[in-house]
Each structure stands twice: as C-alpha cells, then as structure tokens.
Structure 1
C-alpha cells in the first residue's frame, strides 16, 4: 500500500472537504493507497491558534475582516517566516516517522515549509500542490518557486504558474475546484413534495442562503432585507455550526416561508430543492452550487477575503450569477435573477461548467505516483 498524505488545516471547511472528496474517490476506485488526512497546524506544529482566529473572528466578525488584509495576514506570514526553522524540524521529524510515498498540499502559506522538510528527509517523494481557490494570491500563498507539481482549477491559475516560471510539464489544469463527488450524483426525490415536507411552498422561487461551516451575521441582514421587499419567494438557511444565527432566524416572524438548518452533510439535497444560491464567494461553496446548476449571488468588496475575490470574478466572467458590491443590494439582485428568462440563462451557464475536478485530480495523482508524467499531461489539457 502506498502512503499518501493529504495536508490541510481546518481554517474554514474547504480544505478538509477537499481532502474528504479526494479520499472518497480514491476509495471508490480501490486504489492501493493508504490515505492520511493531516491538519498541519494541529498535528505537526502543535497549535490551533490559527483555527480560532480564522473561524471565530475572520469568518464571523465584520471588524476582523477590516483588519484581515492590512494586519492579520501580514502578521500570519511573518509568524511563518520567524518560525520557519523551528517548524521545519517538526515537519522533518514527522516525515522521518511516517515515510510517505506522495505528499499533496491542499493548503496555502506553508507549502515552502512542507516542501523543504520533505526534501531534507525524502527527496525522491513527489510533492503536489492542489490549488483550492480559483486563483493564487501572491506572494507566498499557493504557488511557491520550488520543485513541485501544480494542479490548477482555472486557466487564470495556470497563467500565474507559468509567469512564475513553472514548466508546462509540471502544471495540470482541471475543470474546476475540487468538490465532493456526491454533487455529481443524481438526487431522486420530488422537489415539490420535499418542499412541502419542510413546510415550504412547492412552487415558490427558493433561495438557499449559506455562509460556510461557521455561518455569518450577514445572513440576518439578508433575511431582513428580503423580508422587507415585495418579492414573492422562500428561503432555506444553512447556518453551519452557528447555533446563535439559527436560533435568531427561528424566533423571527416572517412573511416569507423559510426553513432553517444548522450543520449538515445533506447540502446536495437542500441545493436540489433550491433555485438559486446566496452566500460568500468561497471557492468550494460556490462551485458546489454551480455543480447543482444553481445561479449564485455573492458580494465582492474591500471586506471580501482576498482569496475569495477570484471566485467572484469567475462567477461574473462565466455569467453564472450576480456579484453585488454589498449585500444591501440583495433585493435588486434577487429580483433580476428570478426573472424566468434570466434564471434559465444562468442555470444553463452553470450546467455547462461540468466540474469533474475531483476525478481528474485523482487520475493526475495516480500518474504522478507512478512516475508516468507524460501520460499525466494527456489527462487534462493545459
């Protein structure tokens, strides 16, 4: 059995969901690999401080987003630089103990650290970085100038890699961001009946509102704005682990039919019941929505996290939704989107994306592991 290490961290849910998606396909294909999903900060460096800051401040607090780019991100990068040699020793010890056959980075910031430690202990082991955002955010985010394979979800990311000097035989382009294969599976339930079972109208336009695994108070603002509008629709709220937001929504009186759920593994089911998606422009979340043929409404402004801004650009460029400057414009965006001709066009554009990335990445990793690089370049065209 080959030992394959998928390196991630639980800052948000996207990195772990990517790892779980790849593991699922690897197991479905019965490849002779032993998969290890490793939270680099928690299990190797021995800290969960970045998890707390990101999950409990950046994702939930507006004031934290204001200082994210000018203060928190530079501070985080500085900490990585100052701790490089100390952390390098911990990674080297980890590789000495585990002796991997393939290492795959599903996380930004620490890829230089992972690569250098791997080179020091197991220099023949291939190192692959799978970019899980729609583009890199240089410097020292996803793409580091080192000997590695890069798996890019968009032509934009491919262009960035080439500009940084990566040869074409080290770059692979997939059909999108990796999402779980269940988003490609048919859901055999009757939408009208299921809507009624949840207390919803079987025929009203239905919006799914979610802001990732930690939720956000922005959901309350969106709910209030739509409540005061003249729009005739209904809403499904997925609040993640944010019980506070869920409880507030449940206590509110609403003229619009609504269903409130907390953290769930049934996102494809709720997307199947919906007509459009409202949420932050996280690469995995919007890609899941598009895979379910849901047009997306998201925002992009100075408070948007820099790694999510390329996702908003991707949505606008491919005409698979509407990007607003601020969710205070949500009423106008929803009114425009649910016009029948617009909704049909956006849904058709979403259906045309055909994201097969999770399967493509596993095929690429298989070729890399077999040292058949030429064959790997024929899987997907850069």
Structure 2
C-alpha cells in the first residue's frame, strides 16, 4: 500500500472537503493507497490559533474581514518566516516518522515548508500542490518557486504558474475546483413533494442561503433585506455550525416561507430543492452550486476575503450568476434573477460547465506516482 498524505488545515471547510472528496474517489477506485488527511497546523506545527481566528472571527463574526489584509495576512506571513527553521524541523521529524510515498498540499502559505522538509528527508518523494481557489493570490500564497507539480483549476492559475517559471510538464489543468462526487449523483426525489415535506410552497421560487460550515451573521442581514422587499419567494437557510444564527432565524416572524438547517452533509438535496444560491464566493461552495445547475448571487468588494475574489470574477466571466458590490443590494439581484428568462439563461450557463476535477485529480496523482516509481527504478545505482 502506498502512503499518500493530503495536507490541509481546517480554516473554513474547503480544504477538508477537498481532501474528503479525493479520498472518496480513491476508495471507489480501490487504489492501493493508504490515505492520510493531515491538518498541518494542528498535527505538525502544534497550534490551533489560526483556526480560532479564522473560523470564529473572520467567518462567524465577519467584522475581522476588515483587518485580514492590512494586519492578519502580513503578520501570519511574518510568523511563518520567523519560525521557518523551527517549523521546518517539525515537518522533517514528521516525514522521518511516517515515510510517505506521495504528498499533496491542499492548503496555501506553508507549501515551501512542506517541500523543503520533504526534500531534506525523502527527496525522491513526489510533491504536488492543488490550488483549491480559482486563482493564486501572490506573493507566497499557493505558488512557490520550487520543483513541485501544480494542479490548476482554471486557465488563470495556469498562467500564474507559467509566470513563476513552471514548465508545462509540471503543470496540470483540471476542469474546475474539486467537489465531492455526491454532487454528480442523480437526485431521484420529487422537488414539489420534498418542498411540502419541509413546510415550503411547492411552486414558489426558492433560494438557498449558506455561508459555509461556520455560517455568518450576514445571513441575518440578507434575511432582513428580503423580508422587507415585495418579492414573492421562499428561503432555505443552511447555517453550518453556527447555532446562534440558526436560533435567531427560527425565532423571527417571517412573511416568507423558510426552512432552517444547521450543519448537514445533505447539501446536494437542499440544492436540488432550490432555484438559486446565495452565499460567499468561496470556490468550493459556488462550484457545488454550479454543479447542481444553480445560478449564484454573491458579493465582491474591498472587504471580501482576497482568496475568494477570483471566484467572483469566475462567476461574472462565465455568466452563471450575479455579483453584487454589497449584499444590501440583494433585493435587486434576486428580483432580476428569478425572472423566468433570466433564471433559465443562468441555469443553462451553469449546466454548460462540466467540472469533473475530482476524478481528473485522482488520474493526475496516479500518473505522478507511477512516473516517480519508474524514475526510481530506472535511476542508476550510485557507486
């Protein structure tokens, strides 16, 4: 069995969901690989501070977006530089103990540490980075100038890799961002019946509002705006692990029919019941919506998380939804989107995007591992 390490951290849910999706396809294909999903900060560096800051403040509280780029990101990059050699030693000890056959980074920031530590311990072990955003956000985010493989979900990411000096044989292009294979499975339930079962109107336009695994107080602002509008629609709120938001929504009196859920693995089911998606422009979330043929409404402005802005550009360029400057404009966006002709246009554009990245990435990793084995076999012995 080959030992394959998928390096992540639990800042948000995108990195782990990508790893889980790849693991699922690897298991379905019965590849002779033992998959290890490793949170680099918790399990190797030994800290959960970045998780608390990002999940509790930036995502749940939302106000911390204001200080992300001017303060948090520079200070985090500085910390990585200051602790480089100490953290490098921890990674080296980890690789010495575990002896991987392949390592794949599904996380930004620390890929130089992973690469250098792996080179020091096992220079023949292949290392690849899969960019889980729609583009890199240089400097020193996803792409580092080092001898690794890069798996890119968009043409923009490919061009960025080339600008860093990567040769064609080290760049692999996929048809999009990795999402779980369950989003490709046919939904056999009747939408009208299932809507009624949830206490919703079987025929009203239905919006799905979700802001990832941590939820966000922005959901309350969106709910309030739509409640005060004259729009005739209904809403499904997926609040993730944010019980506070879910309870607040449940307590409110609403003229619009609504269904409220917390963390769930049944996102494809709720997307199947919906007509459009409202949420942050995280690459995985919007890609899941598009795979379910849902037009997207998202926000992009100076306060948006920098790594999510390329997803908003991708949505606008492919005309698969509406990007607003502020969610205070949600009423106008929804009013435009639910017009039958407009909704049909965006749904058709979403259906035209054939993202099979989760299967393509496994194919790519198979090839990398096989080629590295052949190179090792063919390499002449040093006398």
TM-superposed deviation, 1:90: 0.4
Task: Name the CA distance, whole Å, in 1 between partners of 2:16 and 2:157.
Answer: 21
Deviations 1:32-66 (A, max 9, x none): 00000000000001100000000001112233111
Counterpart position of 2:233? 233
Counterpart position of 2:378? none
Structure 1 window deviating more from structure 2 (18-27 vs 57-66): it is: 57-66
Counterpart position of 2:380? none
CA contact (8 A) 2:8 2:38 kept: yes
Counterpart position of 2:316? 316
TM-score, length-normalised on structure 2? 0.97
Task: Name the CA distance, whole Å, in 1 between partners of 2:36 and 2:237.
Answer: 33
Counterpart position of 1:289? 289
Name the SS for the 1:137 alignment partner: coil
CA contact (8 A) 1:312 1:323 kept: yes
Counterpart position of 2:301? 301
Counterpart position of 1:379? none
Matched, 1:206 2:206: yes
Name the SS for the 2:278 alignment partner: strand
CA contact (8 A) 2:126 2:372 kept: no
Off by >4 Å, runs of 4+ in structure 1: none
TM-superposed deviation, 1:81: 0.6
Task: Name the CA distance, whole Å, in 1 between partners of 2:61 and 2:307.
Answer: 17
Task: Name the CA distance, whole Å, in 1 between partners of 2:63 and 2:185.
Answer: 39
Deviations 1:167-187 (A, max 9, x none): 001001100000000001101
Counterpart position of 1:127? 127
Task: Name the CA distance, whole Å, in 1 between partners of 2:182 and 2:77.
Answer: 35
Matched, 1:216 2:212: no
Q: 1:164 to 1:5 in 2, by over 3 A?
A: same
CA contact (8 A) 2:5 2:102 kept: yes
CA contact (8 A) 1:169 1:373 kept: no
TM-superposed deviation, 1:300: 0.2
Matched, 1:24 2:24: yes
Task: Name the CA distance, whole Å, in 2 between partners of 1:373 and 1:140.
Answer: 30
TM-superposed deviation, 1:94: 0.3
Counterpart position of 2:150? 150
Task: Name the CA distance, whole Å, in 2 between partners of 1:229 and 1:144.
Answer: 48
Matched, 1:78 2:73: no
TM-superposed deviation, 1:354: 1.0
Name the SS for the 2:60 alignment partner: coil
Task: Name the CA distance, whole Å, in 2 between partners of 1:372 and 1:37.
Answer: 21
Aligned length: 374
TM-superposed deviation, 1:256: 0.3
Counterpart position of 1:60? 60
Q: 1:363 to 1:339 in 2, by over 3 A?
A: same
Task: Name the CA distance, whole Å, in 2 between partners of 1:268 and 1:255.
Answer: 26
Counterpart position of 1:104? 104
Counterpart position of 1:249? 249
CA contact (8 A) 2:62 2:218 kept: no
Task: Name the CA distance, whole Å, in 1 between partners of 2:63 and 2:162.
Answer: 37
Task: Name the CA distance, whole Å, in 2 between partners of 1:60 and 1:185.
Answer: 31
Name the SS for the 2:310 alignment partner: helix
Task: Name the CA distance, whole Å, in 2 between partners of 1:343 and 1:89.
Answer: 54
TM-superposed deviation, 1:372: 7.2
Task: Name the CA distance, whole Å, in 1 between partners of 2:373 and 2:88.
Answer: 29
Name the SS for the 1:199 alignment partner: coil
Task: Name the CA distance, whole Å, in 1 between partners of 2:238 and 2:129.
Answer: 31
Q: 1:372 to 1:40 in 2, by over 3 A?
A: closer
The gaps in structure 1 that reach 5 residues or longer are 375-382
